[in-house]
């Protein structure tokens, strides 16, 4: 007889609707943590045109968060990279608007970069050059100088997910030749996360993937040791903590929520 493990915490992941990578990566990581229950909701992001290029579709985003709230989840995870092409603070606004703790790919990147003092970035994305340069400018505003950037030229959301591993690997190795402080693959529908450990070993550089870093941040916010998932890259090899002091509103505290 199959027995389910006792659930100790639950996360609700919001993902763009045209994304086929987030669920696979999140579940691939969370299989090492069977006492964490994962649930998903979507907000419309598909094709090549964005009707909300300067912000989020707030009605849709908050609606997705509300639906996940019906499941009584402990922590919201926005596993989308859009704020990285607008401004990082946009995700702070999102965290302030929802009714429970929230982490995001973008704020996780900010925290990790500041924690390690990383300033020189090797950026790899699936995007067309014009949007890729926009991401570079937003990163620069955060103090992250893209000393090398490679953009694959994909113009639609589903296309991002179809970029093959050999192409991603080559782009990362090219970016690594500039000897940045860190390699960053940016776009949560870019299937780079399974390659992180391999590329780190090949280059000797730390590497952050926008999809897996959100799952990692969720583990830290829940107080869970991420080391069982070390095959997903070096960030999982440390039992660090994330108290969210800088990026997340004081009201978004997991421990406080559990006391209510």
The per-residue pLDDT for range 71-123, each reduced to its tens digit, is 999 999 999 999 999 999 999 999 999 999 999 999 999 999 999 999 999 99
- Report the alpha-carbon angle 37-98-92, nearest 5: 105
Structure tokens at 105: 């790919």
The CATH number of domain 9-109+212-259 is 3.40.50.1860: yes
Q: Is the pLDDT of residue 243 over 60?
A: no
Full-model pTM: 0.90
CB 74 within 8 A of CB 101: yes
DSSP-H helix ranges across 117-195: 129-141, 157-161, 165-176
What's the pLDDT score for residue 253? 36
The size of the chain, in residues, is 260
Q: Show contacts of 232-240: CB within 8 Å, 24+ apart.
A: 232/28, 232/29, 232/193, 232/194, 232/196, 232/197, 233/193, 233/196, 233/197, 233/200, 233/207, 233/208, 233/209, 234/196, 234/197, 234/200, 234/206, 234/207, 235/112, 235/206, 235/208
Q: Please, what sign has the CA dihedral across residues 146, 197, 235, 21?
A: positive
169-225: pLDDT as tens digits:
999 999 999 999 999 999 999 999 999 999 999 999 999 999 999 999 999 999 999
Q: Is the pLDDT of residue 129 over 70?
A: yes
Domain map (residue ranges) of the chain: 9-109+212-259, 116-209
| Other CB atoms within 10 A of residue 207 CB | 29
Fold matches, 9-109+212-259 and 116-209: yes
What's the pLDDT score for residue 38? 97
Alpha carbon distances (Å) from 63 to 5, 20, 39, 138, 181:
30, 20, 15, 27, 38
- High-pLDDT (> 70) share of the chain, %: 90
The larger pLDDT score, comparing residue 45 to residue 245, is at 45
Q: Domain 116-209 is in which class?
A: alpha beta
- 1 pLDDT tier (thresholds 50, 70, 90): low
CB 75 within 8 A of CB 9: yes
């Amino acid at each position: 007889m199959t027995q389910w493990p006792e659930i100790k915490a639950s996360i609700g992941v919001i993902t763009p609707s045209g994304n086929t990578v987030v669920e696979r990566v999140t579940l691939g990581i969370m299989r090492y943590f069977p006492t964490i229950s994962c649930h998903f909701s979507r907000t419309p992001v598909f094709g090549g045109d964005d009707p909300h290029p300067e912000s989020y579709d707030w009605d849709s985003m908050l609606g997705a968060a509300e639906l996940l709230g019906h499941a009584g989840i402990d922590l919201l995870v926005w596993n989308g990279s859009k704020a990285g092409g607008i401004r990082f603070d946009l995700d702070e606004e999102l965290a302030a608007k929802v009714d429970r703790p929230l982490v995001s790919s973008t704020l996780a990147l900010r925290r990790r970069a500041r924690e390690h003092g990383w300033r020189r970035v090797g950026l790899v994305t699936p995007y067309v050059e014009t949007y890729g340069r926009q991401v570079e400018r937003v990163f620069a505003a955060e103090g992250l100088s893209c000393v090398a950037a490679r953009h694959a030229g994909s113009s639609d959301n589903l296309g991002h997910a179809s970029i093959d591993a050999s192409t991603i690997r080559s782009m990362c190795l090219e970016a690594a030749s500039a000897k940045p402080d860190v390699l960053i693959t940016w776009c949560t529908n870019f299937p780079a996360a399974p390659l992180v450990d391999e590329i780190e070993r090949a280059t000797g550089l730390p590497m952050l993937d926008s999809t897996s870093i959100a799952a990692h941040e969720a583990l830290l916010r829940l107080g869970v040791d991420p080391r069982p998932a070390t095959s997903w890259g070096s960030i999982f090899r440390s039992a660090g903590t994330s108290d969210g002091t800088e990026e997340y509103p004081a009201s978004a505290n997991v421990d406080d929520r559990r006391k209510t």
